[in-house]
Amino acid sequence: MIKRWFRREDPARLRVLMVCMGNLCRSPMAEAVLRAKLSQAGLAPVVEVDSAGTHGFRKGSLPDPRAVAQAASRGYSMLGLKSRPLVADDFNRFDLVLAMDRDNLNALRERCPRPEHGRLQLLLSFAAVASVDEVPDPYYGSMAGFEHALDLIEPACDGLLHDLRQRLATPP
């Protein structure tokens, strides 16, 4: 089922933004996972993926080394990713803005113009089967937290990929 989550300004291209608090762990991992899945599906040329943080305190920083290591262990590259803060134009530029947890979703709702609220969702809303709806922040924990985050992100990105395929096949 296609979710009604965005308007397409460019019918030939979709833009997805992954968002967490610092853009150091969860959102860059989700960006890397979705990029890889889009590439494997041949959709990378028509779907742009980026990530940002609701807090810009580490602008320009590389992703957390634990996130990079865990992603690499599953074949995902985070090479070239750097943290950046969410900016007002992101709500115009991206068709879909996916938060990793409710706190970040609420922060997005506070900053996003009301007409664009349909673009905001939790990433895990795309998981076919999920016992939780948030990706917990692994920053202050162990490597197991990063592994758990990827365990949640991967199936959500599978569901998102399915939805994107349907959306791209549907005329605007």
20 noted as active-site residue: yes
Q: Please report, rounded to a whole number, the percentage of residues in the chain having pLDDT higher than 70.
A: 92
Report how far residue 67's alpha carbon sits from residue 105's, in angstroms, rounded to the nearest whole number: 21
Q: CA-based Rg of the chain, rounded to a whole angstrom?
A: 15
- What are 155's two structure tokens? 């199936």
Of 57-61, 90-94, 105-109, where does mean pLDDT reach its minimum? 57-61
Helix segments in the chain, DSSP class H: 26-41, 65-73, 90-93, 102-111, 143-169
Catalytic, out of 20, 25, 112, 157: 20
Within 10 angstroms of residue 167's Cβ, the number of other Cβ atoms is: 20
Report pLDDT for 56. Answer: 79
Boundaries of every domain in the chain? 17-167
137 noted as active-site residue: yes
Q: Report whether pLDDT(5) > 70.
A: no
Catalytic, out of 101, 137, 157, 167: 137
Catalytic, out of 15, 25, 26, 157: 26
In sequence order, the 6+-apart residues with CB closer than 8 A to the CB of 110 are none
Q: Please report, rounded to a whole number, the percentage of residues in the chain having pLDDT higher than 90.
A: 81
Instruction: Mention the CATH class of domain 17-167.
Output: alpha beta
Report how far residue 163's alpha carbon sits from residue 140's, in angstroms, rounded to the nearest whole number: 33
Q: Structure pTM? A: 0.93
If you average pLDDT over residues 29-52, what whole number do you get? 98
